[in-house]
Amino acid sequence: MEEKSSSSTPSMDPYKLLGIVQNPDGSLTRQTHFPSVPAIEETSTGSNSDPSQLALFKDIPLNSENKTFIRLYRPPTPPPNADNKLPLLIHFHGGGFILFSVTSRPFHDACCVKAAMIPAVVISLEYRLAPEHRLPAAYDDAVETIMWVRDQAVDVNGRDPWLKECVDFSKCFLFGSSAGGNMVFQAALRALDMDISPVKIIGLIMNQPYFSGVERTESEKRFFNDRILPLPANDLMWSLALPNGADRDHEFCNPMAADESLKEKMERLPQCLVSGHGGDPLIDKQRELVEMLEARGVDVVVEFAEGGCHGIEIFDPLKAKALLQSIKEFVNTTCLRVLEDFFKVGKVFPTLKQAFEKMDLEVIYEACSPSVEDVQVLSRKRQTDADLHGSLNRKIQRKLKQWRRKRKLELISEGEYQVRFIEVHAVGWSYVELLPQ
């Protein structure tokens, strides 16, 4: 399948392209685009040839009246101890609000890979589709999922054993591509006015988020007859998804045209990762979203690549791998910021050793002498790289040289020390200086 098309492509039938037929009652008959993965628990084999074998998964009912459910994924090996649990990713699939399911093979496989490779626990929502259930039905289902997670965190009516064993509810992310990215944005705004404690949504991941507007953007005009998302198909999906009588400047479709009160609310959103591709007809609207969020003071990590197409990670394994790496880095970095914030709020411990134990870090090397003011500590997550206990100084120096990703962070205070993170490594290593105040 080509990544993009020129405006010279002949006009097409959007119903045929989308594989839908509208019935007399307004409902849709949908063609099956992708094979469906059955609702059974699978045992990991560790084989990369079948992504479904990378993680365990199971289905859990959410709302029997609405016929919604969640598919829960976890790595095959749980965290080694109760103090070092995994982040939680709540996932919303794409499909223009009218197509697909959590059971659709591409979305299912992607969740398996994320659970295994980040690693994380992933919840993927089977939400109600339009036009049978027009917006905001999908947003309501997303919020209900967040509240279900809240109930799990406070152990209402019993906690699922996978969540109890594996999840750190203070490290929750919302993630979605295309229409799922739109749902991330809308659900996060709604969650701001809800008491979801002790759950903390610390990051939003919006890959090629699905937004539009009445006025055509330059990219929409440029890719009018795009092979993946031609403008007639885009318009049709919005006409089927939006509330009856609404146009594409409704806040569900075009938050950039929303009233000031909603935009002020956006200032409270957590850090966001927004990714996209220049060959996507929606790229200009995604850039507008980033500009709006940044203007409101939201911390946005922006990753826009040249070329590509809408939903390219479904068709191109290399793009899927790059997206996974971006998400992994964003999740790890954002979780590290939680560690920084823990120190910033004034948590004080009688000794440095107790501080690191509380944060589930283990001090394995100290270089200090009466003539050296600074205390340097190399810390690690307890479960990683146990072999570094031997020949510490030589191996540590070699490991530091191997680190390619370096990130300087601001000074933060903890007790009698200022803490400066000098290096960050994706699998949990961090080199810090503790400077006596």
Residue 386's identity, in one-letter code, is A
Place of tokens 């903390």: 200
In the 8-state DSSP scheme, what is residue 386?
A: G
What is the DSSP annotation of 206-249? EES-----SSPPHHHHHTTT-SSS-HHHHHHHHHHHSPTT--TT
CA 26 to chain centre: 33
Q: 187-221 in b/e burial notation, b at 16+ Cβ within 10 A?
A: bbbebeeeebeebbbbbbbbbbbbbbbeeebebbe
**Cα separation of 124 and 58, whole Å?**
10
The pLDDT score that the predictor gives to residue 335 is 83
Q: pLDDT digit string (tens) for 48-64?
A: 456 667 899 999 999 99
CB neighbour class for 409 (10 Å; exposed up to 12, middle 13-18, buried from 19): middle
pLDDT at residue 346, as a whole number: 39
Determine the pLDDT at residue 94: 98
Going by C-beta distance under 8 Å and a sequence separation of 6 or more, which residues neighbour residue 391?
A: none
CA distances from 217 to 97, 177, 250, 331, 379 (A): 21, 20, 16, 31, 49
Please report the pLDDT score of residue 33 as a whole number. 84
Phi, psi of 100 (to 5 degrees): 75, 180
pLDDT at 381: 35
> Residue 136 and residue 130: Cα distance in Å, rounded?
10
Taking the CA atoms of the chain, what radius of gyration do you get in angstroms?
23
Domains and CATH numbers, the chain: 14-341 (3.40.50.1820), 347-436 (no CATH)
Report the pLDDT value the prediction gives residue 339, as an integer from 0 to 100.
Answer: 55
Q: What is the mean pLDDT of each run of 10 residues along the chain (437 residues)?
A: 41 92 97 86 50 86 97 88 84 98 96 95 98 98 98 89 93 97 98 95 97 98 96 98 97 96 94 97 98 95 95 95 95 75 43 44 32 34 34 39 36 40 36 40
Collapsed DSSP state (helix, strand, coil) of residue 366: strand
Say how far apart CA 395 and CA 143 lie, in whole Å.
Answer: 48
Q: What is the pLDDT of residue 52?
A: 61
Q: Report d(CA 426, CA 241) in Å as an integer.
A: 39
How far is the C-alpha of 412 from the C-alpha of 418, rounded, in Å?
6
CA distance 143 to 188: 8
Which amino acid, 274? V
Written as six digits, the tokens of 271 are 């850090």
Give the residues across from 63 on adjacent strands.
68
178 is catalytic: yes
